[in-house]
Structure 1
Amino acid sequence: MRILVVEDDETLSDGIGKALRLENFAVDIAHNGEDGRHLGATEHYDAAVLDLGLPKVDGITVLQSWRTGGHDLPVLILTARDGWAEKVAGFKAGADDYLIKPFRVQELIMRLRALIRRSSGHASSRINCGPLMFDAQIGHFEFNGLPLRLTAFEWRVLSVLILHKETVVERRALMERVYEYDADVDSNSLEVIVGRLRRKIGQEMIQTIRGRGYLLTENNN
């Protein structure tokens, strides 16, 4: 899964990015509203963290631009503005959640996970697909009741697939949610990751849909 962080405080944004990467997320960071607006409109993200007091273009304008452009990524506003009027403006512009600075990074991560889960249509944090279980609130996988050890890239691929289980995830969309903006990506890297996952959970669970992408399924027929 991939997160966009739009925050002009470089120390804070770098700290958020580091914490998210430790939880296996891919992270892109923009330090002004102009760059953030462009990335959110042209790249595929599972969620965005958006400051309001940004240089060049303010956060409310960025959010309004995304929404009027039809971009429905979940957005968590992160700001020091704690007045009721600011919160109302944020939600009216299309925000999904609102967190006031100072904050605990772990709370930010938990809120993002909840936003991503709900936007994928899951009411419960525990998502099952046959012998595979994903606790979306803590980012933990189990297979046949035992913890599943995954690399960061494997976790990103499998988390996207299980959030959209029994649905074909287009190859391009999956690639865009696994790698960061400036990553140097080999053309067959996704296939390599999927191959490693199949060795861990079984060949039959991840099906290749030729010309389209991948399907995580518990139906082995």
Structure 2
Amino acid sequence: MTTVLLVDDEPLLRVGFGMVLAAHPDLTVVGEAGNGAEAVELTRRLRPDVVVMDVRMPVLDGVEATRQIVGAGLPSRVVVLTTFDLDEYAFAALQAGASGFLLKNTEPAGLVAAIRTVASGDAVVAPRVTRRLLETFAGQLGAPDRQPDPRLARLTDREREVLGQVATGRSNAEIAVELTVSELTVKTHVGRVLTKLELRDRTQAAVFAHRERLVVPD
């Protein structure tokens, strides 16, 4: 059973999402919140597997709420909701530690699939959207003269190469073709990269790689 906390300042949206999830016996809504402050409090108390979080809310927005949830070391994973696929709030939420984002007009099946994917430990930002986000907001990713993150030294040359491929938004299958290795080998490398960099999923790895300027968007 995957437990879900729904966070949105529009009650009708919470009701709609709840009805969608109620149709699936492996998903259960354990709570609802109308702003980010309530979301942080309920996440600490209920420890849901997944928090579906609106980014634009009163009292405390979804970005700061995500930052507090992730910073507190809570096991819950956050998926943010946004109206546009190129939204600076969505990008900020990814930097804050969200495991991805969904558009508010996502089909019900897409919402269900995203929650299951995040609960299993993966991210829900499509490679195309990851690439567009990173390219659009590349200027927010850090100055060229900043000191490199010491965690980079933990990676082998091949792992750095795989990280660079992840940062471009490529899937494991696409990386396997590019590097002429098996998809299983790529999956193994990605897992090691996440472990060594202390990151939760490939979306955070992509943000990390761009912040460290391993890949510079056009």
TM-score (norm 2): 0.51
How far 1:89 moved relative to its partner? Answer: 0.8
Q: 2:12: which partner in 1?
A: 11
Tell me by how many angstroms 1:107 deviates.
0.1
Is residue 105 of structure 1 aligned with residue 128 of structure 2? Answer: no
Please give the alpha-carbon distance, in whole angstroms, between the structure 2 residues aligned to 1:5 and 1:59: 12
The aligned counterpart of 2:95 is 92
Which one of the candidate residues 14, 25, 28 is aligned to 1:26? 28
Q: Deviations over 1:182-201 (max 9, x none)?
A: xxxxxxxxxxxxxxxxxxxx
Q: Quick one: which amino acid aligns to residue 4 of structure 1? A: L
Shift in Å, 1:41: 1.6
**3-state SS of the aligned residue for 1:4?**
strand
| Residues in 1 aligned to 2:101 and 2:50: alpha-carbon distance in whole angstroms | 13
User: Could you say which residue in structure 2 is the equivalent of 1:146?
Assistant: none
CA shift, 1:72, in A, is: 3.2
For 1:75, what is the secondary structure of its paired residue? Answer: strand
Structure-2 residue corresponding to 1:61: 64
Q: Equivalent residue for 2:73?
A: 70
Identical columns (%)? 26
Structure with the bigger percentage of helix: 2
The runs of 5 or more residues in structure 2 that have no matched partner are: 123-218
Aligned CA-pair RMSD: 1.5
- Do the aligned residues in 2 keep the contact of 1:17 with 1:29 (CA within 8 Å)? no
Q: Distance in 1 between matches of 2:121 and 2:67?
A: 21
Q: State the one-letter code of the partner of 1:88.
A: F
Once residues 8 and 55 of structure 1 are traced to their aligned partners in structure 2, the CA distance between those partners, rounded to angstroms, is 8
Instruction: Find out whether 1:36 has 2:39 as its counterpart.
Output: yes
Unaligned runs of 5+ in 1: 120-221
CA distance in 2, matches of 1:34, 1:88: 20
- Check conservation: 2:67, 2:93, Cα contact below 8 A: no
What is the match of residue 167 of structure 1? none
The superposition leaves residues 84-141 of structure 1 with CA deviations (integer Å, 9 ceiling, x where unpaired) of 533321110001011112221210110111111226xxxxxxxxxxxxxxxxxxxxxx
SS in 2 for 1:118: coil
Looking at structure 1, the residues matched to 87 and 18 of structure 2 have their Cα atoms a distance apart, in angstroms, of 28
Q: 1:47 aligns with which of 46, 50, 55?
A: 50
Hey, what's the Cα distance between the residues in 2 that align with 1:97 and 1:107? 13
Aligned to 1:155: none
User: What SS does structure 1 have at the residue aligned with 2:121?
Assistant: helix
Query: How many pairs were matched up?
Result: 119
**Distance in 2 of aligned mates of 1:49 and 1:110:** 13
SS in 1 for 2:5: strand
